[in-house]
Amino acid sequence: MSVTPKHIAIFASGTGSNARKILEYFAGRTTVKVALIVSNNSNAGVLDIALEFGIPSLVVNREALNQGDELNKALDKYGIDGIVLAGFMLLIPAWLVQRYPNKIINIHPALLPKHGGKGMYGMHVHRAVKEQGDTESGITIHVVNEQYDEGNIIFQDSCSVVPDDTPESIAAKVQVLEHQHYPRIIEQVFS
Ligand code: GRF
């Protein structure tokens, strides 16, 4: 019996190291297929990764994302069942949340509800962890709703933060956790 894989789109604005891990993970599996990569940044490294893996990609600016026509068509065309955010810098508009209830997930590089919300991304997060003297950090994978970083939490894992850690070394520890867990959790959520 052949099972149709769930088709997902990855939305990313930057380097795309998580996108790469997700693509590598699902390359040999039938549960989930990455069918589209969406970015708001035409220079994003993730678009090179899309080319490398032969995945169609679409660039949408903030207006096009909010207005929705072009993206909606692409989501139809590629039969997208769910969306994975991997460093996507724009707020997901209401129409998209409503089209995919509980089917959009995000990874945040800290232990929410700490260090989340507007403006808390990338090194801002790891600097805040360091400045507040936290003894741990980690990752949070959560459902996306119409507010930044506030949807239901699906999964968390933590790493220790010691006095010698810098924001950069915290970022490196957190990235290990992201790469280790995100593909597996995506598979659980979508397949
Ligand atoms: C990751 O830290 C992720 O947690 C955050 O954005 C970053 C994306 O990094 N939401 P990359 O482009 O996948 O390397």
Catalytic residue among 108, 115, 126, 142: 108
16 Cβ inside 6 Å of ligand 1: yes
Establish whether 108 is a catalytic residue.
yes
Place 150 in a pLDDT band, splitting at 50, 70 and 90.
Answer: confident
Cα–Cα distance measured from residue 43 to residue 99, given in angstroms and rounded to the nearest whole number: 28
Render the burial of 142-156: b for 16+ CB within 10 Å, e for the rest. bbbbeebbebeebbb
Neighbouring CB atoms inside 10 A of 12's CB total 29
Going edge to edge, which strands form the sheet with 32-39? Answer: 57-59, 32-39, 6-11, 82-85, 104-108, 136-143, 153-160
Q: Pairing state of beta strands 6-11 and 82-85? A: parallel
- Please, what is the average pLDDT of the chain? 96
- What are the tens digits of pLDDT across the range 70-101? 999 999 999 999 999 999 999 999 999 999 99
Q: How far is CA 20 from CA 13, 83, 116, 157, in A?
A: 13, 15, 24, 20
Q: φ and ψ at 137, to 5 degrees?
A: -140, -165
Which residue is closest in CA terms to ligand 1's atom 2? 109
pLDDT of residue 1: 53
Q: What is the pTM of this model?
A: 0.96
